[in-house]
Each structure stands twice: as structure tokens, then as C-alpha cells.
Amino acid sequence: MTLEKYQKKRKFDKTSEPKGKTGSSKSNIFVVQKHRATNLHYDLRIAYQGVLKSWAVPKKPLLQAGKKRLAIQTEDHPLEYAKFEGKIPEGEYGAGTVKIWDKGKCELIKKNFKKGHLQINFRGDKLKGIYNLIKTNQKKGKNWWILFKSKQ
């Protein structure tokens, strides 16, 4: 995994976001950050192979089974980003306020990025239980996934 896309989009002399580097592949953390940018959304980040795999979720993640949310995969972020809260300055990529909405440990039960299916057991303050991320094939080149909680 690489952080090249992440680092190219940011001017670290102007933003307090961590520059970061690829970290330990043994991390089992996740974070959901409430991001008040051009449009309010939630950034879901899951530690995988030394980076935070990231998705922008336009609506608040659901806490109950039965409904689905769009999740748009974005560039990988450094593990240090899991602790980031702050204001990204106007004119910079992702300008707006970032606050941690939920965080905790997680276990990747199924992890097949090539086939577009992840099953994750979240153990956070808000997200608890097994969730699925399934990649859609609606439009070629789009990284659209569906996030939903499994019925237990």
C-alpha cells in the first residue's frame, strides 16, 4: 500500500494533517471521522496492511441492520490519521472541520479487495457488530461500495 496519492493532494506546510508513512500491518483499528467539508460526510477508515483504507460515507453510518449506505473509496491514509481532529484550511484539499465520531478495534473477517467484499466486526462506542462493504459495478472506474450492518 502506498500513501503517494494522499501526500500529493496535501500541502503539509499549510495543513496540520499528518504526513505519515506506511506503518505496521498488525494494527486492528478503525475510525469514523465527521467531516464538515463542502458537504457533510463521514470518513470510514480501517487499518489494513499498514495504512488506513478509506471511504467517504455521505450519510451517517447506520447503527441498526436493514438499511444501506453508499461508501465511496478514497485514497489510503496514514495510520496516524486515526487520531486527527482539526480544521483543514480553506483552499486546501478537504477543507473543513474533522472530528472523530467513533473509533475502536475491528477484525476483518472477510477481506477480498479484488472481489470487492469486506466483512468487518467493529468494536467501537457506536459501531458495534458485523458490517459489510460490497463494491458495486454501477460505473466503470468508480470506487462505489455499499456499507450495511449484518442481521445478527
| pLDDT value of position 60 | 95
Checking DSSP bridges between strand 40-48 and strand 117-124, what pairing results, if any?
A: unpaired
Judged against a pLDDT cut of 90, whether residue 113 lies above it is answered with no
Phi, psi torsion values for 48, nearest 5 degrees: -155, 120
On the question of pLDDT at 56 being above 60, the answer is yes
When pLDDT is cut at 50, 70 and 90, the band that residue 20 belongs to is: confident
Distance CA 31, CA 29 (A): 7
Residue 2 has pLDDT above 90, yes or no: no
Q: Enumerate the domain spans of the chain.
A: 4-149
pLDDT-derived band at 36, boundaries 50, 70, 90: very high
Cα–Cα distance for residue pair 5/28, rounded to 1 Å:
23
For 55-91, the DSSP string reads EEESSPPPSSTT-EEEEEEEEEE-GGGGG--EEEPTT
Rounded CA separation 124/94 (Å): 25
What residues contact residue 48 under an 8 Å CB cut-off, 6+ apart? 1, 25, 108, 111
Residue 78 banded pLDDT, cuts 50, 70, 90: very high
Half-sphere exposure in the Cβ direction for 69 (13 Å, CA): 25
